[in-house]
């Protein structure tokens, strides 16, 4: 079984299926993967609104122990909470935590990541490139100021 298959089965067959996350949200297709996480689309069972959920596996044993994964997740949550008022930084909607997983619920970006845009399009106009770079640099400056303030 591959690493990805293992992560997917954990997210479906886990003992955490009774957690508050699964009570409120229905996980859907995989949108992306990271070293210790899987990002899926999920749907709020009450409102039927779609979100993205980053599910961080806190039980992985390879090169990244559970305490490191948990600490990295907490740092990400802290930073994202402090950036919720910036128009070009994804908004963290809510979080859930179990012994095995950290669930970060984000607004869903229907057009995907910037990386996807850059790799799928052959060319971007100079005007579009300038607009993207402006947003990136403003966001980076904002993040830098927040990191300095909260000490991550």
Report helix, strand or coil for 49: coil
Q: Which of 47-51, 61-65, 113-117 has the highest mean pLDDT?
A: 47-51
**Residue 111, token pair as written in the block:** 């057009």
For the chain, give the percent of residues with pLDDT over 70: 80
pLDDT of residue 62: 63
pLDDT: which is higher, 73 or 121: 73
Where does 3-125 have alpha helices with state H?
3-13, 20-24, 66-82, 114-120
Residue 30 has pLDDT above 90, yes or no: yes
pLDDT of residue 66: 66
Interval 102-125 mean pLDDT: 83
Report helix, strand or coil for 77: helix
| Dist. CA 41–CA 52, nearest whole Å | 4
Q: Which helix (H) or strand (E) holds 92?
A: strand 92-97
CA-to-CA dists, residue 23 to 46, 55, 57, 72, 78, angstroms:
10, 15, 19, 25, 24
pLDDT of residue 99: 84
Q: How many residues does the chain have?
A: 152
| Dist. CA 87–CA 9, nearest whole Å | 35
Q: How does residue 149 score in pLDDT terms, banded at 50, 70 and 90? A: low
What pairs with residue 54 in β-bridges? Answer: 39, 104
Question: Is 3.30.70.3040 the CATH number for 3-110?
Answer: no
CA-to-CA dists, residue 76 to 16, 56, 92, 137, 145, angstroms:
22, 11, 10, 19, 15
**Cβ atoms 90, 106 nearer than 8 A:** yes
pLDDT of residue 63: 58
For helices 126-150 and 66-82, the axis angle rounded to 10 degrees is: 110
- Indicate the domain borders of the chain: 3-110
pLDDT: which is higher, 91 or 84: 91
Residue 7 has pLDDT above 60, yes or no: no
């Amino acid at each position: 079984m591959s690493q990805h298959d293992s992560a997917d089965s954990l997210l479906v067959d886990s003992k955490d299926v009774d957690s508050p996350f699964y009570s409120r949200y229905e996980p859907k297709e995989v949108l992306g993967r990271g070293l210790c996480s899987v990002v899926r689309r999920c749907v709020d069972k009450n409102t039927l609104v779609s979100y993205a959920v980053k599910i961080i596996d806190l039980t992985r044993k390879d090169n990244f122990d559970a305490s490191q994964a948990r600490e990295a997740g907490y740092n990400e949550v802290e930073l994202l909470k402090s950036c919720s008022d910036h128009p070009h930084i994804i908004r963290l909607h809510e979080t859930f935590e179990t012994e095995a997983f950290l669930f970060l619920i984000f607004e869903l970006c229907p057009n995907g990541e910037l990386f996807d845009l850059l790799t799928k399009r052959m060319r971007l106009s100079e005007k579009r490139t300038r607009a993207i770079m402006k947003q990136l640099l403003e966001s980076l400056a904002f993040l830098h100021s927040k990191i300095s303030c909260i000490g991550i």
